[in-house]
Amino acid sequence: MLKNVVYTLVIITCLCSQAWSQPQSDLREEENIYEQIYNAPLKLIDGKSTTVLQLAEKKPLILALIFTRCSGICSPYLLQLKENIKSQSADATKPFNVLVLSFDSEDSVADMVNLAKRFELLDDNNWHFAITDSITGLIKSVGFHPVWNDNIKQFDHDALLVGINTQGFIIKKLLGMRGESDVALLIESINNEFIPTYRLPGKSSLFSCFNYDPKTGKNTPGLGLLFIALPALIAMLLLFGIRFVVRSKSS
């Protein structure tokens, strides 16, 4: 009997420790949300100087972080952003600007001018290309952590879009290459519209009430529902258990 209990406990402990040692689900999109962005001074390619908050005050801002020497994700990511924004139907009630900001201290205003030209965005009033001398504070405030790789002379970094409202608060973040609908939601969010969202449970989240299947779009009941039923079940068991114990004692 005792052996069985010990074996059961060992198995449960192993399962739990395995489950708990799963890598943390990717919650980075939720980091720094509703915090104010660092107010870095900007040098725009038209020669003007401003700050992130001053720019955001005029219109909600989509911040894209790139560097011009990038041989990886930066170009396809900027290109897709441009296409996604072009495909959005013009809506005067949902204004926004895009700020393309270099996080590489080697980049100059001239490099950013060339980048804007390459993407044919130099004359687009909604797009601003800029550099800053306070990039450390800014990337920290949005939870962006590029790592310099000296072998390939490149930054290892995420493709990150940050949505900032007119008060300078980070409202939404998009990680990775994202489609039109995600960018549309980002634009609505920074214009302070309510967007229903629900975090998809990752591997570290064991007890979801419902398991959502993105392929079928359907929810199936999860283990979490059992937890909601548990208190009532235990209470009923205790009721009968207490009665049994007090009866046994009195007889």
Binding site for other proteins (CB under 8 A): 19-25, 27, 196, 198-199, 201-202, 204-210, 219, 222, 224, 227-228, 230-232, 234-235, 238-240, 242-243, 245-246, 250
First to last CA, the chain: 29
- Alpha-carbon gap, residue 198 to 123, rounded angstroms: 38
Give the DSSP H/E element, type plus range, for residue 43.
Answer: strand 41-44
Q: Would you say 62 and 99 are in contact if contact means Cβ atoms under 8 Å apart?
A: yes
Q: Please name the residue that has the structure tokens 């495909």.
A: 87
Tokens 């990038």 correspond to what residue? 70
Nearest to other proteins of 120, 213 (CB atom): 213
Q: What are phi and psi of 200, to 5 degrees?
A: -75, 130
Q: Give the nearer residue to other proteins in terms of CB position, either 23 or 47.
A: 23
Supply the minimum distance, in Å, between the C-beta of residue 35 and other proteins.
Answer: 10
Q: In whole angstroms, how close is the CB of 211 to other proteins at the nearest point?
A: 10
Cβ-based nearer residue to other proteins, 140 or 243: 243
Output the smallest distance, CB 37 to other proteins, in A. Answer: 18
| CA of residue 32 relative to chain centroid, distance | 9
- Output 41 or 222, the one with its CB closest to other proteins: 222
Min dist. Cβ of residue 224 to other proteins (A): 4
Nearer to other proteins, 82 or 172 (CB): 172
How near is the Cβ of 173 to other proteins at its closest, in Å?
Answer: 16
The dihedral over CA atoms of 28, 146, 143, 86, expressed in degrees to the nearest 10, equals -80
